[in-house]
Amino acid sequence: MKSEQICLTVDQINAIKLDRRIVGVHSIFNNKLIVVCCDGLLRMIKFKGKQIEWLDSYGEQN
């Protein structure tokens, strides 16, 4: 089984750590991170530079 990898900058890692909605990283899919959110749901994110881009409406709700 091939494991996927994604390269993140320090700024991108800090963005994940500082976003209170994200409580953990679940997996990687197609160069996007699947994160565990504080509501218990998994959501997909990617980065635009050092900013988190939510691939669903969750980022726009808060």
What would the two tokens of residue 21 be?
Answer: 């909605």
Give the distance, in angstroms, between the CA of residue 51 and the centroid of all CA atoms in the same chain: 10
43 forms bridges with which residues in the sheet? 35
For the chain, 62 residues long, give each residue's pLDDT as a single digit of tens.
Answer: 567 888 999 999 999 999 999 999 999 998 899 999 999 999 999 999 999 999 976 655 54
Tell me whether residue 26 is in a domain. Answer: yes
Give the distance, in angstroms, between the CA of residue 35 and the centroid of all CA atoms in the same chain: 5
Mention every residue, 6+ apart, whose C-beta is less than 8 A from residue 37.
21, 22, 23, 43, 58
Number of domains in the chain: 1
pLDDT at 38: 94
pLDDT at 16: 96
Q: End-to-end CA distance of the chain: give it in Å, rounded.
A: 37
Tell me whether residue 5 is in a domain. Answer: no
Residues spanned by the domain of 41:
10-61
Rounded CA-CA distance 44/47 in Å is 11
